[in-house]
A and B are shown apart, each in its own frame.
Chain A
Amino acid sequence: MAQQQPLSSTVQPTDVYGGDEVSALVLDPGYYNTRAGFAGEDVPRQVIPSFYGHIEGRDLFGDEVIIPRAGYEVRNYMNRDSVVEDWDAATKAWEHVLVRRLQPERQTPPSKNGLNDETDGDVVMDDGAGAEMEERPLSENPLLMTEAPWNSAKAREKAIEVVMENWACPAFWLSRTPVLASFAAGKATALVVDVGGANTSVTAVHDGMMLKRSVQKSPAGGLWLSGQIRSMWETNEPKVDIVPSFMVENKKPVEAGAPADYRPKKFDFPITDSFRLFEEERVLTEFKESVVEVWRGPAKFTESQQYIANQPGRVFEMPNGSNQMWKEQRYKVSEGMWDESAAFPPPTAPGLDIPSLAKNQTIPALIKACLDGVDVDLKPNLLGNVVVTGSTSLLNGFNDRLNNELQAAYPGVRIKIHAAGLTSERRFGAWIGGSILASLGTFHQMWISRKEYEENGPGIVEKRCK
């Protein structure tokens, strides 16, 4: 029925069907989330926590499996420097997103797929053709992976090894998050301010290259902010207990400041600390989303506290129903990012291990240090292209404050902040940049092919991915 229509001259001829079709994958592991998807798409298809569940020697991945279970520990394969810590778990986590979630299910022989009642589902997967298939699950997908600017040479080599040896990827490329974030913003030269989960980094990118001497990082990210909120709640009068929602069966409305009236959920097994901390983080995230705000300036926060205290505040209801109005405190928790002297002392709860920020670790200090590390001629260009990315930068008022700080620090320079309006673009900045890069026609000119890897070994990644 449908008739072939001649292509109009305005339409670019599309590539030949069955031609050299590249289905590149993009993997962006971060401290909080691991993001994976296909190049050319605008959001990652799979976003799973980098935290994973560990139970009885097994590792479980994905947000859905993080539910209370006996002896269930929550671990993270990344460390707080956003560098892979546990390679075994990292490999499994990546396999989970790249292979098990993004690729069709392998047709496991009936003896192994655990669906036939008569066979034992727990057979070790190691026989015959099936195993061969398992070994080459990504043989058609080049992979672009992101890394923190300060990633070590050893970790980079390990990354290419894992990718090449485990899934037989035909090609690999490693790219730094600030470069990709600037790509996502459509800029080749930019000052990238990435306020992420565990870290804040400020990096100068020039012509698509990261300037190594400019890289600055500090823990002033989401985790540190969570610590500030915890400290604030600890010292609050009355003290605010964090009861994560998994512990609440149901709740009743109570007056502001009144003790919570809720029915706790009963578990006939102990809940591990790591699980609880992870769940508490969800409450803190909600608090950050709906209450925490960055004092915009230009007047100093410390001098404006009185004024803010008279402004209407915001109420936050905890999962157990207790609620309270937060006024100037909701600015104070984030103030430490800009002015270390305004910060709360780090929380005392065990197992958190959150540092306090030093004077040179605040965001303005990082930017200054970063700009001091680059050629003076570049400064105006960088300040005219400030790219803000990372979830923590979504805090209400963040951009206004950043703008004010920069105006004050660099008077007379044109400052332009580029921050994506869509939440997802801000959260997945580096991934989106990777998606753009890997979908370019020129991607195959830059990647490290399997052959090169086999000839040169993992060391090639140091030589090629500058």
Chain B
Amino acid sequence: MSAQAGKWKEEQILVICPGSHTTMACYGCSELAPPTHRFPTRMFRDEETGEWRPNHTEKRRKLNGSSHGAEGQEEWEYIEDPDSTDGATYPIQGGRITNMDAFLAFLEHVHQSLTTTYHNTPIMLMASPQWTRPDCEEIARYIFEQTRTPALCLIHSGIATQYGLKWPNLTVVDVGFQKVDVTCIYDSRVVSHKDVGASDALAVAEGEEISGGEVFTRKLLGLLEDKGFTYEMAEQLKKSNVCEVLPYVPDSEKLMDLPEEAPGAEKAAEAAPKAEVAADDDAAAAGESKLVDEEGVLNVAELVVSGQAKEFLAKKEKEKAAKAAKKGKEKEAAEAAAKSRLPNSRKAKNIFHYEEVVQEEIPPEEVTPAKENGQAPANGDAPKDGDAPKDADAPKDGEAPKDEDEQSKPETTSEDTKPAAESATTPAEPAKPSLPVIRNKRIRRDIEVGLERFLFADRAEIDRISTAIYRAVQSIDDMYMRPPCWENLVFVGNGARIRGLRDNIIQTLNARHLISPSTATIFTSELPSNLGTPSGTGSQTPTGSYIGAGPPHQLGPSSGVNPLLQAATTSNMGVPGSVIGGGAPGTPGGQTPGGDAAVTNGSHHFHSQTPTQIKLATLPTYLSEWTKNGFEEAMFLGAQVAARLAFCVHNLDAQGVESQRLMSLSRVDFNELGPKGIRSHSMLA
């Protein structure tokens, strides 16, 4: 293949990182930016056609006077509800593909949402370690047979993380939705892997425990259920910053230092009921008083719709000032201020802001509520075509579904300002008086939570994760690979965003497994067995040594090119790290993995006990967007970097071309090899 023939532009590449819960995707990898799109990984089966739809779809009778309403009452419409999870199929569970049909349909949906063309859009798809070989082949077959995609690259999620973080040796701990993966990577090869979580759906049915972020939500829910918490509330609480895993305290009874309960502890009990303020049901009578519910939360959507924004805001300001003045006199305020200065971990109680979207259907007076119609038995001549929902929902709900889609992103962090901005778009679309209007109310409640927000840190789960890490690293076959893996731990996956979790795990590992230098060896000149002997193991990770190691890459330094990229493009692609390792003669990195190392390997006499050091890997700082976003999603960054390497880099030497060819499966290769080509033409291990 001539160097330029099969190359694509960076803007044309589709990067998809599917997760059990959320799938990250973006079109184009020139920016190396955090994912532009997030999709909930779920599909809905259409009962009538058996097809898969991305959203829950409800059929109901179309009403008179609608834009298509020529035939009157007998017409049906399909309402898509992007928030509903009713009847959802989750194609990936605990990392495993449990429903391939749905998964492929989901890929199709993601693809369509991002781009319309296939023929020049190579796909970079991240694979969980749990995907089986037949799974990968099935995906390859589908993509090449059903679409016109020119090339597909499957990348192991651990390897993807490694590409994102540039270190050749890493232990990637991926805390996912319902599973935790520990992948040890040495010299860009997966050398050990353990996963925690139920082994499959059958095991879940048999009562095996899941793992990952979900465990914490469930635990939190279990603790707070009595106080009227719902799953959604627990989930939000977990993500809020009042919820944190306290540092590991080796000597304390509970292994953490809980803040002292404040004297007025009983108040906590009252707090929850106080929050039980629901949205007003009869919001149709849009009285000004109703715009603010008792908690002082603005019903912005309604406000904007009713067009009284200005007056209202002015009034509101006045009220606020008055209130503040009143409060100022009270002593409480001072106390509260003092209290609020304490860090969250020292407060027995803290308040978290729970936001929920309440959907309201406001029936126009002259029309009977749609729900009743929906239950009407007639279904014979309803339009059943697959495209119905798209047509139908556009004029009805207007912007609403889109807005919701954005709002329902689970990872959005500080959204305080967003609702206002979003609902501001609604007036642009004139409300049709004759139709039921579905309105989303964003309600914010302040809920006080007690110590539960620390106690949810389930020791059993943390132990499971740390044990998995310990066993994964210690079961690396070649002992000299263990120290570098211990010294470069990285936590990814959005489950790892829980405050304090990663620190706690590191502290736990340190307190439990660290091998300390022994006094027995202090007076001997020899190095003790439990210290890393200087055997060229790469334990001294060459920090920063590759920056500027070669000529600046053609992609330019401005784009923050991963140094791996340079290394990989200049030499053996499959083993990007080998370039770095090969710099010092005699290091293991210089050897060909899997080759006839029988001769060369005799030089490794590394028999020391590990770990003597447990450290987090340093995260790169040159990608400010990612620093902001957090490197929990580093695998997405890595997938983008890998996509560039696999699809966009040209002007390689012969060796580079060959290894690049093996990074992804092109259509040419697929035609030659068939789906099994993905076994060798991918970045799966």
* Residue A422 at the chain B interface, CB threshold 8 Å: yes
CB distance from A426 to the nearest CB of B (A): 9
- A91-138, CB < 8 A from B: 96, 100-105, 107-108, 110, 112-115, 121-123, 125
CA distance A327 to B257 in the complex (A): 43
- A142-191, CB < 8 A from B: none
Give every chain B residue within 8 A of A413 (Cβ-Cβ).
none
* Residue B519 at the chain A interface, CB threshold 8 Å: yes
Give every chain B residue within 8 A of A245 (Cβ-Cβ).
470, 512-513
Give every chain A residue within 8 A of B474 (Cβ-Cβ).
286
* Residue A304 at the chain B interface, CB threshold 8 Å: no
CA distance A63 to B609 in the complex (A): 21
* Residue B424 at the chain A interface, CB threshold 8 Å: no
CA distance A418 to B204 in the complex (A): 46
CA distance A245 to B200 in the complex (A): 27
Given A315-B529, A420-B598, check contact A325 B521 (CB 8 Å).
yes
Stretch with Cβ within 8 A of B (4 or more), from A216-224, A255-263, A356-364, A370-378: A255-263
- The answer to whether A104 touches B97, judged by C-beta atoms less than 8 angstroms apart, is yes
Residue of B90, B133, B195 near A115 (CB, 8 A) is: B90
Stretch with Cβ within 8 A of B (4 or more), from A1-9, A440-448, A456-464: A1-9
Closest to A292 in B: B607
- The answer to whether B119 touches A1, judged by C-beta atoms less than 8 angstroms apart, is yes
Residue of A18, A42, A324, A396 near B607 (CB, 8 A) is: A396
Closest to A122 in B: B205
* Residue B202 at the chain A interface, CB threshold 8 Å: yes
- The answer to whether A290 touches B608, judged by C-beta atoms less than 8 angstroms apart, is yes
CA distance A104 to B481 in the complex (A): 31
- A233-290, CB < 8 A from B: 245-246, 248-251, 253, 255-257, 263, 286, 289-290
Give every chain B residue within 8 A of A14 (Cβ-Cβ).
672-673
Q: Encode contact with B along A308-351: 1 for CB under 8 Å, 0 otherwise.
A: 00001011110101011100000000000000000000000000
- A21-77, CB < 8 A from B: 21, 23, 38, 42, 45, 58, 60-65, 67
- B442-475, CB < 8 A from A: 464, 467-468, 470-471, 474
Give every chain B residue within 8 A of A422 (Cβ-Cβ).
477-478, 594, 597-598, 601
* Residue B208 at the chain A interface, CB threshold 8 Å: yes
- The answer to whether B479 touches A289, judged by C-beta atoms less than 8 angstroms apart, is yes
Give every chain A residue within 8 A of B607 (Cβ-Cβ).
289-291, 293, 314, 396
- B198-221, CB < 8 A from A: 199-202, 204-208
* Residue A17 at the chain B interface, CB threshold 8 Å: yes
- B599-617, CB < 8 A from A: 599-602, 605, 607-609
- The answer to whether B512 touches A17, judged by C-beta atoms less than 8 angstroms apart, is no
Residue of A42, A63, A113, A114 near B594 (CB, 8 A) is: A42
Give every chain A residue within 8 A of B559 (Cβ-Cβ).
none
* Residue A419 at the chain B interface, CB threshold 8 Å: yes
* Residue A424 at the chain B interface, CB threshold 8 Å: yes
CB distance from A308 to the nearest CB of B (A): 14
- The answer to whether A423 touches B477, judged by C-beta atoms less than 8 angstroms apart, is yes
- The answer to whether A21 touches B674, judged by C-beta atoms less than 8 angstroms apart, is yes
CA distance A17 to B665 in the complex (A): 14
* Residue A411 at the chain B interface, CB threshold 8 Å: no
* Residue A427 at the chain B interface, CB threshold 8 Å: yes
Given A121-B204, A316-B609, check contact A250 B512 (CB 8 Å).
yes
- B493-534, CB < 8 A from A: 508, 511-513, 515-516, 518-521, 524-526, 528-530
- The answer to whether B1 touches A5, judged by C-beta atoms less than 8 angstroms apart, is yes
CA distance A176 to B96 in the complex (A): 34
- The answer to whether B676 touches A325, judged by C-beta atoms less than 8 angstroms apart, is no
Give every chain A residue within 8 A of B98 (Cβ-Cβ).
105, 107, 113
Among A14, A251, A314, A321, residue most surrounded by chain B Cβ atoms (within 10 Å): A314
- The answer to whether A1 touches B529, judged by C-beta atoms less than 8 angstroms apart, is no
Give every chain A residue within 8 A of B518 (Cβ-Cβ).
256, 315, 317, 323, 325
Query: What is the size, in residues, of chain A's interface with B at 8 Å between Cβ atoms?
Result: 74
* Residue B150 at the chain A interface, CB threshold 8 Å: yes
Residue of B515, B529, B597, B671 near A17 (CB, 8 A) is: B671
CB distance from A330 to the nearest CB of B (A): 9
CB distance from B593 to the nearest CB of A (A): 8
- The answer to whether A251 touches B526, judged by C-beta atoms less than 8 angstroms apart, is no
Given A2-B150, A21-B674, A104-B138, check contact A314 B528 (CB 8 Å).
yes
Residue of B138, B201, B511, B528 near A315 (CB, 8 A) is: B528
* Residue B5 at the chain A interface, CB threshold 8 Å: yes
* Residue A421 at the chain B interface, CB threshold 8 Å: yes
Query: What is the size, in residues, of chain B's interface with A at 8 Å between Cβ atoms?
Result: 84
CB distance from B55 to the nearest CB of A (A): 19
CB distance from B70 to the nearest CB of A (A): 39
CA distance A108 to B528 in the complex (A): 55
Give every chain A residue within 8 A of B467 (Cβ-Cβ).
67, 246
- A378-434, CB < 8 A from B: 396, 418-424, 427
- The answer to whether A248 touches B528, judged by C-beta atoms less than 8 angstroms apart, is no
Give every chain A residue within 8 A of B132 (Cβ-Cβ).
101-104
Given A63-B194, A100-B199, check contact A421 B133 (CB 8 Å).
no
* Residue B6 at the chain A interface, CB threshold 8 Å: yes
- The answer to whether B468 touches A64, judged by C-beta atoms less than 8 angstroms apart, is yes
CA distance A101 to B195 in the complex (A): 12
* Residue B23 at the chain A interface, CB threshold 8 Å: no
- The answer to whether B512 touches A251, judged by C-beta atoms less than 8 angstroms apart, is yes
* Residue B425 at the chain A interface, CB threshold 8 Å: no
Closest to A396 in B: B607
Closest to B670 in A: A17
Residue of B89, B202, B526, B594 near A108 (CB, 8 A) is: B202
Give every chain B residue within 8 A of A325 (Cβ-Cβ).
518, 520-521
CA distance A122 to B207 in the complex (A): 9
CA distance A303 to B93 in the complex (A): 62
Give every chain B residue within 8 A of A108 (Cβ-Cβ).
201-202
- The answer to whether A107 touches B99, judged by C-beta atoms less than 8 angstroms apart, is yes
Give every chain A residue within 8 A of B150 (Cβ-Cβ).
1-2
- The answer to whether B5 touches A2, judged by C-beta atoms less than 8 angstroms apart, is yes
* Residue B135 at the chain A interface, CB threshold 8 Å: yes
CA distance A107 to B470 in the complex (A): 34
CA distance A463 to B464 in the complex (A): 48
CA distance A122 to B208 in the complex (A): 12
Residue of A21, A100, A114, A253 near B204 (CB, 8 A) is: A114
* Residue B22 at the chain A interface, CB threshold 8 Å: no
CA distance A44 to B587 in the complex (A): 26
* Residue B100 at the chain A interface, CB threshold 8 Å: yes
CA distance A108 to B479 in the complex (A): 41
* Residue B151 at the chain A interface, CB threshold 8 Å: yes
- The answer to whether A263 touches B251, judged by C-beta atoms less than 8 angstroms apart, is yes
CA distance A312 to B530 in the complex (A): 13
Cβ-closest 3 pairs across A and B? A114-B205, A421-B601, A256-B520
* Chain B residues in the interface with A (C-beta under 8 A): 1-2, 5-6, 8, 89-90, 93, 96-101, 119-120, 132-135, 138, 150-151, 194-196, 199-202, 204-208, 250-251, 255, 464, 467-468, 470-471, 474, 477-479, 508, 511-513, 515-516, 518-521, 524-526, 528-530, 594, 596-602, 605, 607-609, 666-668, 670-674, 676
- A-B contacts besides A60-B208, A324-B520, A427-B477, 16 pairs, CB < 8 Å: A3-B6, A5-B2, A21-B674, A38-B133, A63-B471, A64-B196, A105-B97, A107-B98, A108-B202, A110-B89, A121-B204, A256-B518, A256-B519, A314-B529, A315-B520, A419-B598
* Chain A residues in the interface with B (C-beta under 8 A): 1-5, 14, 17-18, 21, 23, 38, 42, 45, 58, 60-65, 67, 96, 100-105, 107-108, 110, 112-115, 121-123, 125, 245-246, 248-251, 253, 255-257, 263, 286, 289-291, 293, 312, 314-317, 319, 321, 323-325, 396, 418-424, 427
27 A-B residue pairs with CB within 8 Å? A2-B5, A3-B668, A5-B2, A14-B672, A17-B672, A23-B134, A64-B194, A64-B195, A103-B134, A110-B89, A112-B205, A245-B513, A256-B519, A256-B521, A257-B520, A286-B474, A286-B609, A289-B479, A290-B530, A290-B609, A291-B607, A317-B518, A321-B516, A323-B520, A424-B477, A424-B478, A427-B477
